[in-house]
Structures are given as C-alpha cells and as structure tokens.
C-alpha cells in the first residue's frame, strides 16, 4: 500500500509557495498530525523562519474531548503553551473569529480531518475563518486531507435557503464526495468568500480511496466518530439526532446502534427487511446509553452491519429506519424539539435534512424509498456539475 502524503506534510516540506510571511496561526484539533502521529504544533514551533503565535479550535476542542454541542471555553494548550481561542463557544457569534484576533498574522492555516458529510461542522469553521481572513487581509491556507468515505459517491439533497445552520451552512448534499481543500475552493468562489486562499494538496490520494486505503493512521476526529465504520454510516444516521431515538451516543458504537426502550427488535428487523436495503443487514440488539438520550435505560433496536460499503446508501437507510419506527411505534416516536446547534426556531430534523419535506410529507405519505431517492436527482446533478470545477484529484 502506498501511503498518502497529507497537505500538512507537503506544507512542512515546502512552505514557501503557500505561506505569506512567517507569522502564522493554526485552526486545528488533535487530527492535525503527520503520518507518524506528530502534532503540527510541535513541528511548526520547531520549523525555522516560522513564528507560530495563535491557535484556534473547532467544536469538541483542541484535543476532541468535549461531546457534541458542548460549548468550549478558551484555554491554554498544555503542550505548546499557546493560548487557544475556541470557535465553538456559548454564543453563535463565537463560531466566527473576529478580525482583531487575526491581527499580526500573515497566514492562517487550517488542518483538520473531515468525514465527508455536510452535518460535520469543521468545514464550516473553515469557511467562517476564510470570511474573516478576507476582512483582516490574512492569507488562508488549507492543508488537505482525505475524504475518508471516498471522493466519488454522492447522496442526498441540497439544504434549502431557510434551513441553513451550522450543520448545513451551504447547499451541499448529505454526502458530498469532496475533500476539505476542494470545499474551500468551492466555498471561496461559489459563495463569494473571496479570501486570499491557498490549498496545499495531498500526494497519492485517489478519489476511489476509502481511508483504510491511504496508509494513514485513523485518529477519531470527534468523540463519537471512533472508526471508519462510524464515518461510513454517519451521512444518514446523523438524522437520528433529529429524533428522540438514541443514535448510540453513550455507547461504544455511536451511529451504528439505534433504538429506544419501547422498540421490540425482532419487529423492527422484520419491517426493515421489507425495504431490501443494499449493502447492509440489521442485527437485533439491546444497549444501554451511559449519557444523552435514554441514559441508563435499556434500549431495544438494531445494529447496522455494512456488508458492502460501495453499495450501502447511508441516507436512505436512515430514512427507512426512522419511517419504520414511526410506523410501528407511532404513539411513542417523537422528533427532537430542544435547541440544536444554536437554533431554537426550527426543528433539528429539518435542519439536518435540509427542509421539512421528510417530516411533513414522507413520514405520512407512504412514498416509496425509491421515489424519495429520485427526488434528490436534480440536486445531485446540479451539485456534481458545480463541484467539477473545484476537484483537485
């Protein structure tokens, strides 16, 4: 297996084509490592003619210790000794750094592992920093990393204008098939961010690769993204967050478990078998979340076993699961109504899906899964055409 060389390593080997000046800040978390697991902060601090002065951290914090939607305070990095500004604080305005925070910098470098799904907030932290870099006159440098679930497959619809949020800040599909660097190029031009942007490409990455084809070590990007298997199911199974079903948070297999105390697993399995979903089978399962939804209670449900990840369609699978539970347990099934990602005036499921059609129509209409998938075709065609101009690999 040939090892992929990440944008970080490419930059460290040859910084001059990408950096403007020597005073830099980093937007990073614990995934900002080289192929030997060495932190980028250590390497930039020891690099000649580079002055690392500021650190910025996304959701979950610099070392990924905080759970989802836990607001992170500013802190000091115990390893580098540098002050860390949180870009996921108590108020929505904390998502965007102020131009004053970038004063004194020549370049701001973003290097965080994404997972290939539009709900994952790191790429929006990147975009927000790009906006401020334009205002502050600072170059934005994005060190590219693999899309772990390959760069070919697309699935889903685009987010409607009224349903934009920090889990869908721009109209991209649930599974977009792009790297962070490619998304940066798309955001910068298509959505007129207009910053001085440099993307440091990888070497050796090919679009059909899954992460375990790259030869790179897997570092869980967030507390509930422990494995590549999690990332494989996540583009669909994140929809479970918009319900009061447990998505397996508080267990060792988040997003691969789904259930609630009122579910009888054999009945749910029997119903899901009718849908003949490709690349997956469901095993009846009981589990007890240690925190979040149904904490301390035994949930009946299923575990997803992906048998063919190239045939598996995560989004339609999640929709099938939610509809099946709604059909079987309509008196108990409920949508999440609590505030979600700083938004309190729209339901989480609508923010995640990108519009209210799933909740308002397809949960009640008996529309076939194929018809639902067909409804995304125009969105996917237009996005596929749009993204073509920004593909690097």
pTM above 0.75, yes or no: yes
CATH architecture of 7-219+386-390: 3-Layer(aba) Sandwich (3.40)
**CA dihedral (37, 40, 42, 47) positive or negative:** positive
The answer to whether the CB of 256 falls within 8 A of the CB of 229 is: yes
Q: Which backbone phi and psi does 306 adopt, to 5 degrees? A: -80, 120
CATH 3.90.1150.140 occupies which residues in the chain? Answer: 228-355
Task: Give, for all 393 residues of the chain, the pLDDT tens digit.
Answer: 679 999 999 999 999 999 999 999 999 999 999 999 999 999 999 998 899 999 999 999 999 999 998 999 999 999 999 999 999 999 999 999 999 999 999 999 999 999 999 999 999 999 999 999 999 999 999 999 999 999 999 999 999 999 999 999 999 999 999 999 999 999 999 999 999 999 999 999 999 999 999 999 999 999 999 999 999 999 999 999 999 999 999 999 999 999 999 999 999 999 999 999 999 999 999 999 999 999 999 999 999 999 999 999 999 999 999 999 999 999 999 999 999 999 999 999 999 999 999 999 989 878 899 999 999 999 999 999 999 999 999
SS3 content of the chain, % helix, strand, coil (to 5): 35, 15, 50
Beta-strand relationship, 107-111 and 83-86: unpaired
CA distances from 226 to 71, 115, 142, 253, 378 (A): 21, 11, 24, 8, 33
Distance CA 76, CA 23 (A): 19
- Beta pairing partners, 257: 303
**pLDDT value of position 1:** 63
The answer to whether the CB of 392 falls within 8 A of the CB of 179 is: yes
What is the CATH T-level fold of the domain 228-355, as seen in this structure?
3.90.1150
Residue 169: CB atoms within 10 Å: 19
CATH 3.40.50.12170 occupies which residues in the chain? Answer: 7-219+386-390
Max Cα distance, the chain (Å): 65
**pLDDT value of position 365:** 76
Sheet strands (E) in the chain: 23-28, 51-57, 75-76, 83-86, 107-111, 139-143, 197-200, 257-260, 280-287, 299-306
- Beta pairing partners, 284: 302
Distance CA 274, CA 215 (A): 38
**pLDDT value of position 184:** 98
Q: What is the DSSP letter of 359?
A: I
**pLDDT value of position 252:** 96
**CA dihedral (27, 31, 35, 38) positive or negative:** positive
**pLDDT value of position 42:** 96
**CA dihedral (9, 13, 19, 25) positive or negative:** positive
**Secondary structure of 36-83 as H, E, C letters:** CCCEHHHHHHHCCCCEEEEEEECCCCCCCCCCCCCCCCCEECCCCCCE
38-41 contact pairs (CB < 8 A, 24+): 39/79, 39/80, 40/8, 40/111, 41/77, 41/79, 41/80, 41/82
């Amino acid at each position: 297996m040939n090892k992929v060389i990440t944008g970080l390593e490419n930059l460290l080997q040859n910084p001059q084509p990408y950096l403007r000046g020597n005073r830099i800040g980093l937007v990073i978390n614990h995934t900002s490592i080289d192929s030997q697991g060495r932190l980028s902060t250590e390497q930039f601090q020891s690099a000649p003619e580079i002055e690392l002065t500021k650190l910025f951290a996304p959701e979950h914090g610099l070392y990924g210790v905080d759970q989802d939607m836990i607001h992170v305070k500013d802190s000091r990095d115990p390893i580098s000794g540098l002050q860390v500004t949180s870009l996921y604080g108590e108020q929505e305005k904390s998502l965007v750094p102020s131009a004053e925070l970038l004063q004194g910098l020549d370049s701001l470098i973003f290097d965080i592992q994404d997972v290939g799904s539009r709900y994952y907030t790191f790429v929006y932290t990147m975009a927000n920093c790009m906006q401020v870099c334009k205002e502050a006159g600072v170059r934005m440098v994005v060190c590219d990393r693999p899309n772990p679930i390959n760069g070919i497959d697309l699935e889903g619809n685009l987010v409607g204008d009224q349903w934009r949020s920090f889990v869908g800040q721009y109209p991209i599909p649930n599974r977009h098939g792009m790297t962070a660097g490619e998304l940066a190029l798309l955001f910068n031009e298509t959505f007129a961010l207009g910053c001085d942007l440099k993307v440091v490409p990888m070497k050796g990455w090919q679009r059909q690769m899954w992460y375990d084809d790259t030869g790179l070590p897997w570092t869980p990007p967030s507390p509930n993204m422990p494995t590549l298997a999690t990332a494989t199911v996540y583009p669909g199974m994140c929809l479970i967050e918009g319900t009061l079903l447990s998505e397996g948070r508080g267990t060792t297999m988040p997003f691969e478990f789904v259930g609630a105390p009122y579910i009888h697993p054999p009945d749910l399995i029997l119903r899901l078998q009718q849908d003949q979903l490709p690349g997956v089978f469901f095993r009846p399962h009981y589990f007890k979340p240690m925190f979040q939804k149904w904490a301390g209670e035994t949930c009946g449900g299923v575990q997803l076993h992906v048998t063919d990840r190239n045939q598996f369609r995560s989004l339609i699978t999640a929709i099938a699961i939610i509809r099946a539970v709604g059909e079987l347990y309509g008196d108990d099934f409920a949508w999440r109504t609590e505030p979600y990602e700083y938004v309190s005036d729209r339901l989480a499921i609508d923010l995640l899906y990108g519009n209210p059609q799933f909740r308002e129509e397809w949960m009640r209409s008996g529309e076939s899964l194929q018809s639902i998938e067909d409804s995304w075709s125009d969105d996917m065609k237009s996005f596929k055409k749009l993204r073509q101009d920004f593909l690097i690999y």
